[in-house]
A and B are shown apart, each in its own frame.
Chain A
């Protein structure tokens, strides 16, 4: 792997049946590139959490992935309601997930904590009424 691989995914805000497409697609690419299973697991789990958040909390968005020999960088962006208090949202157990999402097993308030525990760097930028970006970096 000498050059940069860039991938773009649109994240549908309504269709739960395809939520997780971006993370499973990236998982396949990383496998083909011979990236180690531990790194793949970290990337796939954190991408899935961010993808599901984009669906549930923001009504959809996009993921832009960049794979270089030393790192995997993913930027999730949405034009949803934004996060009032990012530090609070990062706390384990904090959740504003709606009832329908809780019935499906989401809403433990563990997603952002899971991301933080699996990546080397996470940057969340959010403005109320404008949207949110979640940027994650995993070093290879």
Chain B
């Protein structure tokens, strides 16, 4: 599965620019404590987090996750979107909660 499949199959909003690198999605990690995420998230995971500040872009880059997914309809600051665009990090949004999203992702990854 790729990011574009994830967007269409889970009806996600693309919050960053439209011409993104369509990376593979191989897993999922949920976490809001950044150091914790840095020790656990794997490359090509979808990272679900309620954090929306600038630092999530650095964490996504360092862990090489596929994309960031912000649940619960939380809005993402423009500075974060700008930094994500500058660093080639894809940020997605959804009104659903983390559990529903993870279950849906898990189903698609089977």
Contacts and interface: CB of A to CB of B under 8 A. Distances in A.
A109 B51 CA distance: 17
A105 B61 contact: no
B62 A111 contact: no
Interface string A33-64: 00000000100110011001000000000000
B interface secondary structure, majority? helix
Given A17-B79, A41-B62, A44-B62, A110 B35 contact: yes
B62 A110 contact: no
A108 B62 contact: no
A49 B49 CA distance: 19
Contact of A105 (B39, B53, B63): B53
A interface secondary structure, majority? helix
Interface string B47-91: 001010111101101111000000000000001000100000000
A68 interface: no
Interface in A96-115: 104-111, 113-114
Interface residues of A, number: 23
A109 B33 CA distance: 10
Interface of A: 16-17, 19-20, 23-24, 41, 44-45, 48-49, 52, 104-111, 113-114, 117
B39 A117 contact: yes
Given A110-B39, A114-B39, A105 B34 contact: yes
B91 to A, nearest CB: 15
Given A24-B61, A41-B62, A114 B38 contact: yes
Interface in B21-39: 32-36, 38-39
A119 to B, nearest CB: 13
B46 to A, nearest CB: 17
